[in-house]
Structures are given as structure tokens and as C-alpha cells.
Amino acid sequence: MAPSFKWWGKESHRGTPVVVKMENPKWSMVELEGPSDEDFIIEDESNNNRENKGRGKNAKQLTWVLLLKAHKAAGCLASVAPALLGLVSAVKRRVAAGRTDADADSVGGGGREKEDPTVKSRFYSFIKVFLFVSLMLLCFEVAAYFKGWHFEAPRFWGSSFGVRGVFDWVYSMWVFVRVEYLAPPLQFLANVCIVLFIVQSLDRLVLCLGCFWIRFKKIKSVPKGGDVDLESGEKGFFPMVLVQIPMCNEREVYQQSIGAVCNLDWPKSKLLIQVLDDSDDITTQSLIREEVEKWQKEGVNIVYRHRVIRTGYKAGNLKSAMNCSYVKDYEFVSIFDADFQPTPDFLKRTVPHFKDNDELGLVQARWSFVNKDENLLTRLQNINLAFHFEVEQQVNGVFINFFGFNGTAGVWRIKALEDAGGWLERTTVEDMDIAVRAHLHGWKFIFLNDVECQCELPESYEAYRKQQHRWHSGPMQLFRLCLPDIIRSKISVWKKFNMIFLFFLLRKLILPFYSFTLFCIILPMTMFVPEAELPALVVCYIPATMSLLSILPAPKSFPFIVPYLLFENTMSVTKFNAMISGLFQLGSAYEWVVTKKSGRSSEGDLVSLIEKGPKHHQRGSSAPDLTEIKEEIQLQEKKAASKKKHNRIYMKELALAFLLLTASARSLLSAQGIHFYFLLFQGISFLLVGLDLIGEQVD
């Protein structure tokens, strides 16, 4: 029932009647009718009365607006408590059912090397000691605060120690030590990291300006011979193309990649597909082999290869396939990972760039993601990779003709691969390795931003963390191995500088180093050693500007700019650990784990195909057994629903969360506003990641 509100005045209510409903726990407002003509037409009144009534009406309307806003605020406040309770209950459930990252590693997985526990615990032990010292210092400073010292050196030295007491003497010595011995080296390290931070920010700014210039000038790579037309006959450019699909125990996605590649629009006599299966699961091997046989019956040139001994991981798989005798008949090779789905015209839009361009060794297409809106983790990954392709790859491809091969969705000239020495098994980033060696031999690369290939993002933090560890430890391994070759190569001095300083040092080493050191170590330390300072420009404004630039290629993700900034700093722990492991060849440097796929894209494509029905038979497509496929999908969904999922608790992230929250409490006592907010939200970000509250849970 609507309240009458007759207490407002003696005269009848004018204006917009409003009914306020209480719907536990939220409020809602319903507008019944608009203002009538009587609210605006006043007759037979003097000018003074009109003015007074007008003022009264304005006051009433303003009061009603304020009342409505108060109701909305009450609704928001009413929803805060249930949300907090839900979050707390979720944390309790995940902690109770969770496994630590150490437990997860002890369970192990196929195809990964066991990491030395001594090496692994060294980094974690350092963080624990740092946290313990920070907690002790916080208690110490709180006690000093209540004594009224306000975090400054007390004005007593020498003989007054005995009068003041032991605590006063200890605190005075602590202030003396931090002023004389701790603050200078800490400030020096902070200044070094600030310089590195500014240099890296300038590099990102230059890349963004280059991307803007490409858009402004509408620069686009166009084949010299024009687009391929299948109906052109003799004018068409149809060289022999080999397509490779390396996979390992990827049962969820093998159908989508094989089906998409078999539908490539290219003459059958000029195309051969190799399915390179490294699976050690017998059931998965049988399923993939049956899928290949099914497409063979459809007339597709496709072969199945399986290695009994899986040496060298993906590089060893590709190297083994290139040693086949029939490969010499082919001029180009295109590679697709198991979760990639090229469009039928992929080869028509990439291979023509090689025509009349003998210096071109690689054509790389852009990735697009079928599950980018699945959860917060995939949204943040989409921001990162959109900047990587739209800005980094495109700018380097246009102005330098060099970038790191992404390992998939690209076409290589086989002669360039052979000239560079072929696939090597010496690192976990075989794609970057072959690209660097090919560039040193003078081959050029082209990036096509308008050619996309669909794939899948990891939806769990565990899978994403393993992927990022491999992506950041491998480049450091490669840098140690390639540095002498880069120095001795015959490329120009500018290209050597770009490869050594920009490509390797700045973007692969300095970025994770300063991100972790500056924001996770130095910033908390400056709260306990206030004589060393970090300006607000470095803590807030420059990172916010860089995040804004990073999010420009994905403008729809703008609401996630703050979570993106916090999450990138959170991931600096994994990236820094991986970088150190690769640089110094520690235990986890050669760790290889196949990124877990969910197969969402293949399920959606197959279900839509079943619902539409086979209206016409595409070239090389397989129309039968759609009912069986649908039943198999439903069976997999039931199994997935019945399978118990759990989260993993990441101890390093949790330790850093409590460290940052401790530092935020210390900054609050010393009234450092912007530092407090940054440390608080960054600590909460570490806490959420440490409890695995971001992304999907792990089977």
C-alpha cells in the first residue's frame, strides 16, 4: 500500500504521484501518472501568489527527487549485506574444498617435469619472511603512534634512554637504522624501477602512436597479385600447402579444428592435412583417428600421425612431421593448434601475400576468442591479447617486418623454416625461437589484423597461470641462447637494438621485473620506511594512463579498466617467477603443460549445426552422425555436471595479499591517501586470486 504523505501540506497533492513498494530486500518506485494540466495552469491569482506557489511547487518537486534518490540508495544498501554474506560463504566453501598449489603440483599431470621443491620454495620463503617482518613493524609502529610520536624520530638520544625505557630506546634505534641504512638503498632501487617504468611506458605510448598512424593512414598489407578467385582458373595462385594440427590429449576440441581445416577453400590436389597427435590417452587416440578416417572417406587429403615417444613437446612433434618424405613437394605450411577454427577462406586471404614477394617468410593472422565474455578472467585476457595483436604485432609488422610468431594461425614458407634451421626443442617457446632465427637470416614477416582465427581462452586461473609461466620463462631461455647469434648476425644495428633491447629486455624482462618489484615489494616497504618515497604520479596516474591505452583496442571492456590494472599487477608474481626461472635455468624453466580447453566453441557450433539442419552439403563437410554428436555432447555435459570441481589455494598470492593489506594499514596510520587505496585494492586483488575466486573452478 502506498503511503499517503498527507503531512506535507493541507492542500491536495500536485505533481507526479509516486507509489513506493517495499520488495524485500530491495525498494522499487512505480510512476503512476504524469503531471496534469492543473499543475501548470493557475488562474485568478495575483502575481505574488503565483510566484509563491511556484516556489512552493519547486520545493516540493526537489523534495520528491531527493526522496526518490534516498529510496534508491536504501535499495543499494539493502543489497550490500547479502552480497557480502554470499562472498564470505563462497570463500568458506572454496577454502574448505580447495587444494594448495603445492598439493596440485604433487598430484602432477601428464607431460610435465617435476620441479625441484627447494627451488620452488625459495621465492615463497622470501615472501613469508617479508610478511612476518612487516607484521612486526606494523605492531611496532602502532605502539609508537599511540605514544604520540607520529612515526618520527623521538627527540631523545644518549642519556635519556634510561629515563624513557627499553621500548623508546629500541624505537629510536629503529628510526636511526632506517634513516641511515635502509632509506638510501631503498630510494635508489625505487628510482631505478621508476626509470624502467617510465621507459616501458614510453615504449607503450610509441606503439599506440604507431597504431594510430596506421589507422589514420589506412595502412594495410595487400597481396601484390590481388585476392585469389577460385573461378579464375589459370590466374589463381594455388601453391602446394601443408596444414598441420598438433595436439596432445585435447579431447574436448579436436573435432572443431579438424572439421574447420577440412573445410578450407583450397583445391584438394594442392592441400594436405597432417593431424599430429601426441596423446598418451588411448581413448583420445582412437577418437582422433576415427575422426580422421571419417574425413578421409569424404575425399579430404588428411593423414593421422602419432608419436610413441613424446620428446620435445610441440617442437618435437612439428620437427618429426617435417621430416616426412612428401613434405618436399609442398611450398608452404600452415599451423593450427587444436582449439583453432580457421574460416574457409583463410588460405585465400593469407597465401597470396607470398606471391612475387620472395623475402616474405611468415604471414600471421589475428586471434579472436569465442569465450571472451565467459567470466572476468576471460574478459581481462581479451584486453591483454587485443592490445598484443592490434598494437604490438601490427605496429612491429608494418614498421619493422618482425614480430614473434604466435605458434598458430600462421603460414610459413617452408624454405624460410629450413633456412632458419627448422624446429628446435631447446626452449618451451619454439614459435618465438623459429621467428628470431628466421629474422636473423633476413626473412620478413607480415601481420594481417583483418584476418581472424577463432580460438578459446583458458577459463580457469590454474590453466592461465601455467600458460603465462611458459610464455614468460621461455623468452628468457631463448634470450640466453640467441644473444651471441644476434650480435654476430648481419642484420642492421637498428634491428639488433630492437631485438635485444625492445623485444627481449624491455618487454620480456624489464616489464615483469619492475611490475613485481615496484608495486609488490618497494611500495609496501616505503610504508615502513617513510624516508623513501614513491610519488603519486608513479603509484596512480601513470599506471592508470597506461591501462587506458591498453584498453583502447577493446573499447567495450572499458568498465574493467580498474580490475585490469589490479590483475596485471597480481599476475606479476607468476611472470616474475617465470622470468627468473628462465633466465637462470631453474627447475621450472622447462615446465610444459598443455593449456586446458573447455570445448565451448565446438559444442556451440555443433549444436547450432544440428538445430539448423543440413540445408546443403558443403565441400568436404561431413553431414552424417549429427544425432550421435548431439547425444555425445549431452553425455559430456552430464559427466561434467556430476564431476566434482574444486579450487586451488595459491600460497604466494595469499602471502602477498596479507603483506599489501598490512602495508595499507600502515599507510592509513600515516595518512597517505592514494597509497592506502592502491595497497588496499591491490591486496584485495591478490586475496581473490589467491583463493581462486576468479575464473572457473578446476575439474
pLDDT, tens digit, 9 for 90 and up, residues 185-240:
999 999 999 999 999 999 999 999 999 999 999 999 888 765 555 444 345 789 99
The pLDDT value given to residue 369:
95
Task: State the distance between the two ends of the chain, measured CA to CA, in whole angstroms.
Answer: 50
What is the 3-state secondary structure of 267-311? Answer: CHHHEEEEEEECCCCHHHHHHHHHHHHHHHHCCCCEEEEECCCCC
pLDDT-derived band at 589 (thresholds 50, 70, 90) equals low
The pLDDT value given to residue 612:
42
H helix or E strand, kind and range, residue 451: strand 444-455
159 CB-near residues (< 8 Å, 6+ apart): none
pLDDT-derived band at 673 (thresholds 50, 70, 90) equals confident
Over residues 454-481, the mean pLDDT reads 92
Q: Which of 571, 601, 598 is nearest to 696 (CA)?
A: 598
Percent of the chain, pLDDT > 90?
Answer: 52
Q: Are 27 and 18 in contact (CB under 8 A)?
A: no
SS3 312: coil
In whole angstroms, what is the distance from residue 311 CA to residue 112 CA?
11
33 CB-near residues (< 8 Å, 6+ apart): 16, 17
pTM, whole model, 2 decimals?
0.78
Q: What is the CA radius of gyration of the chain?
A: 31
Q: What are phi and psi of 21, to 5 degrees?
A: -100, 140
List, by residue number, the catalytic residues: 278, 431
The pLDDT value given to residue 132:
80
In whole angstroms, what is the distance from residue 349 CA to residue 334 CA?
13
498-549 pLDDT tens trace: 999 999 999 999 999 999 999 999 999 998 888 898 998 999 999 999 999 9
Q: Which three cell numbers stand for residue 365?
A: 593472422
Highest mean pLDDT: which of 119-128, 428-437, 603-612? 428-437
387-414 pLDDT tens trace: 999 999 999 999 999 999 999 999 999 9
Over residues 335-344, the mean pLDDT reads 95
Lowest mean pLDDT among 23-32, 95-104, 314-323, 673-682: 23-32
557 CB-near residues (< 8 Å, 6+ apart): 379, 382, 383, 386, 551, 564
Over residues 347-351, the mean pLDDT reads 95
The pLDDT value given to residue 170:
80
Q: Which three cell numbers stand for residue 497?
A: 637494438
Q: Are 401 and 353 in contact (CB under 8 A)?
A: no
624-654 pLDDT tens trace: 454 555 555 556 555 555 555 556 889 889 9
Q: Which three cell numbers stand for residue 185?
A: 638503498
pLDDT-derived band at 309 (thresholds 50, 70, 90) equals confident
Q: Are 223 and 235 in contact (CB under 8 A)?
A: no
Is it the case that residue 108 has pLDDT exceeding 60? Answer: no
pLDDT-derived band at 591 (thresholds 50, 70, 90) equals low
Mean pLDDT of the chain: 80
40-74 pLDDT tens trace: 444 444 455 555 555 555 666 777 777 777 777 67
What is the 3-state secondary structure of 645-688? Answer: CECEECHHHHHHHHHHHHHHHHHHHCCCHHHHHHHHHHHHHHHH
In whole angstroms, what is the distance from residue 678 CA to residue 161 CA?
38
Residue type at position 646 = H
Q: Are 99 and 648 in contact (CB under 8 A)?
A: yes
Is it the case that residue 610 has pLDDT exceeding 70? Answer: no
